[in-house]
Structure 1
C-alpha cells in the first residue's frame, strides 16, 4: 500500500502509485497523479493538475502545482508535468501554466534542483539540469538539457538557455544564452565555453575543438551575427563528428527571439 503518514491529507481523487511515500503534514490535492517510487517530504503541498513521474524525491516544505503568479490567470485548468528521477530540495515552488501559451509547465528527467528554486508558469526545463540554490525562472523560460545554473541567478521571462550552457553565480540573465557557452556577471557577459562540463560528458577532442571554434566565431572575431551564423554552419562539413553540435547551435541562433548574449 501507499505509505502515507497519518497526519498527511491526501484527497480521495488523487492518484498515487502504491509505492509512493508521503511524509507528515503533506497536503495532496484531487487532480494530482504521482508515479511509482516517488517520495514526498513533510509539509509539502502538491495541488492543481499536477502529474509527477517515477522515482522523484521531493523534500520538505516544497509547493508544487500552485496557481501561477500571473494576474491574467482566472482559474483555468492548466497543468504542471514533472518527469522521472528528479531531486527537488527544500522550499521549491513550481507553478501551473497559463492559458494562451500552451498552459503547461514542464520539468524533464534527472534534474537536480536545489533549495528555494522557483519555476514559474509555462517554463520548460529539460533533462539532466542543475539549478543551484535560489535559481529563479520567470515565466516561459526554456532550459535545454545539461544546463547548469549557479546560485542566486534570475532569468528573465521568455529567455532560452541552450543545452550544455553554464550560468555563473548571481547572474542576471536577460538574453538568450547559446548552447555550450559560459556566462556570468551583472550585466551578463560570455566568458568562454563550458569546457569542463563538456569533458565530463565525454565530448571528444574533435567536438571540443568545434565548440571552441563556434565560440570564436560568435565572440572573438568581431563578426556580425549573420556572418558568424554562416561560418558556424560551414563547420559541419569541416568537422563531420561535430555536425550535430553545429546543427544544435545553428538551430538555437535561428530561433532566438530575445537576442543572444554577446
Structure 2
C-alpha cells in the first residue's frame, strides 16, 4: 500500500481504504413488472450484482435466480413474480470527478478506488436455511420497523442466493372469462414491504403459495421435478438507511 485511509466503525472494526480496496457501487435502478402466473425475465449484466425489493408499499414479490441463454451465451437472470425494484451494482473503476464536494481515493493507475459520493454495497445480514419442514405462510424474517424516506428509496434490500420454488398442491381449474385454465399451487420466498407509520416501514421475507400456469400437464412430473429446485434458501440483507437523494433515475425494464 502506497497510501490510504483507515476508518474506524462504531463497533471497533477498521475499514482500510487503500489501493487494494474494492466494493460494489450502485450504477442503475430498474423497475421490473411481472405477473404471478407469467413472470418477467430480467437478464443480468455480466459481472454485476443485484439487490431487490418490492416496488410499492403493501405489495409482495418473488424473485427467483435462474439462468438463460442469450446469443448462445449462458447468462444469469431473475424471474420476477410481481413488481420489483432491482438495484444494479458494479465493481468497475470509474474516472475521477472533475467537480463537486467529497473525498476520492485514487489507485496507482489513476482510477477511483473509493468515492464518498458513491452508494456502496453494505451487507448487514446473511440468512440461509431449509424449507423442508417449514409450513406454508411462515415468516422467515421480519426486520421490524425501519425509518423510511419514500416508496422509491427502500431502506432494506435483498440479494437472492438460493431461492427455491416448489410444487406444493394439486392443480385446480380457475375460470377466466369463458375458458378454463389449469393452474398449479407452488410456493417460494416472497419479499414484502409495508408502511406502518408515515415514517416507518417493515420488511418481511415469507414462505407463501401462489398459483402458476405450468407448461407441463403431468401432475406427477410437476410434483417431483418442479424447476429442479431444492428446499435450500439463502439471501443477503442490504442496508441503505444512509441513502437519501441523488440516486440514479428508475428505469422501466421491458
- TM-score, normalised with respect to structure 1: 0.20
Which is strand-richer, 1 or 2?
Answer: 2
Q: Which has the larger radius of gyration?
A: 2
Which is helix-richer, 1 or 2?
Answer: 1
Higher relative contact order (CA 8 A, sep 6+): 2
